[in-house]
Amino acid sequence: MSSQELADFLRRRREDLRPEDVPAGAAPPPGRRARRTPGLRREEVAALARVSVSYYERLERARAPRPSPQVLSALATALRLTGAERDHLARLAGQVLPAETDAARRRVPEEAQRLLDGLDGVPAYVVNARQDIVAWNAAATALLTDFSGLAPEERNVLRVAARFRDTLCAGTSGAESAFSRQVAAELRAVSVRYPADRHLAGLIDEFATRDPDFARSWLHHAVRPVPGVRKTLRHPALGELEVDRYTLGLPGSDFSLAMYTAEAGSPSAAALRSL
């Protein structure tokens, strides 16, 4: 990753903060100078991280050497980063060696299909780091589509969503926006682990070009996990269903399990059971 990526990430996270987000007494008072930019000032972040203002300014301008683990930890605390964002920051700064394995070449865990088949009545599928759908159960086929009928390159969650948006999705644009942001955050984190994966880079360019919500989330360097998204689906036999899509990482792998559930006792839950 380039120093420009690190600089952009720091700037974006700084702009996300507000003076009221910082505990009282943790940073110098803002003084009388009017704020011309969103978020904290560079000197305020520098004070919180106990680094010089000039050094932090050079970091945000991509002109400073890579920070040490100690400085990264201080910056992460000053910027109030989540665990996922701390890991992302470390990778951007070269403190964690990027994986050399292609993002989609690792073998699907053997227990994944057993897990899918065991989720009786719960539509679910497994995705790899690129968000390619690599395994699914019968309930997912009944709810969404017959994935086996799609070409392998089309079995990607964003490509599937785009293909069936007009016929399958009946909810508001907000739900689809949240879904795009969810996938963008996952791919942003993966792109740092696999910087040499050209296929992954091509997918990101494709999605950013045709999906404005994905593009905005990508430019914002969002990497915080978004585990759940509520969607309204239009099923040809069951009508409109309000479902929640949850994703869970499979330990020890780059694969995740995506499940569709509905609120207990709701008509949508009864409809899902009928699948």
In this structure, the strands spanning 133-136 and 124-127 are antiparallel
The closest alpha carbon to 13, from 228, 223, 225, belongs to: 223
Supply the pLDDT for residue 59.
93
pLDDT score at 7: 92
| CA 167, 170, 171, 172 torsion-angle sign | positive
Domain boundaries 3-92, corresponding CATH code: 1.10.260.40
Q: For residue 32, what pLDDT is reported?
A: 44
In this prediction, residue 237 carries a pLDDT of 87
Per-residue pLDDT of the chain (275 residues; tens, 9 = 90+): 578 999 999 999 999 988 876 665 555 545 545 556 678 999 999 999 999 999 999 999 998 888 888 898 889 989 998 877 888 898 888 887 666 567 666 677 778 888 898 987 899 999 998 999 999 999 999 999 999 999 988 999 988 888 777 656 655 455 667 888 888 888 988 888 888 888 899 999 999 998 888 898 888 888 877 778 888 888 888 888 899 999 888 887 889 999 999 999 999 999 988 88
In this structure, the dihedral spanned by the alpha carbons of residues 178, 181, 187 and 188, taken in order and rounded to 10 degrees, is -150
Query: What is this structure's pTM?
Result: 0.69
- Residues, the chain, total? 275
Residue 27 pLDDT: 52
The pLDDT of residue 138: 92
Q: What class does CATH assign to 110-274?
A: alpha beta
Residues 6+ apart with CB under 8 A from 230: 171, 175, 178, 242, 243, 244, 245
Q: What span, in angstroms and rounded, lies between the C-alpha atoms of 188 and 146? A: 28
Q: Find out whether 170 and 232 touch, Cβ atoms under 8 Å.
A: yes
Q: Cα–Cα distances in Å, from 92 out to 53, 67, 88, 202?
A: 21, 10, 6, 20
Q: Position 242: which residue type?
A: E
Q: CATH 3.30.450.180 spans which residues of the chain? A: 110-274
> Residues spanned by CATH 1.10.260.40 within the chain?
3-92
Q: Which of 232, 231, 188 is nearest to 207 (CA)?
A: 188
pLDDT of residue 267: 92
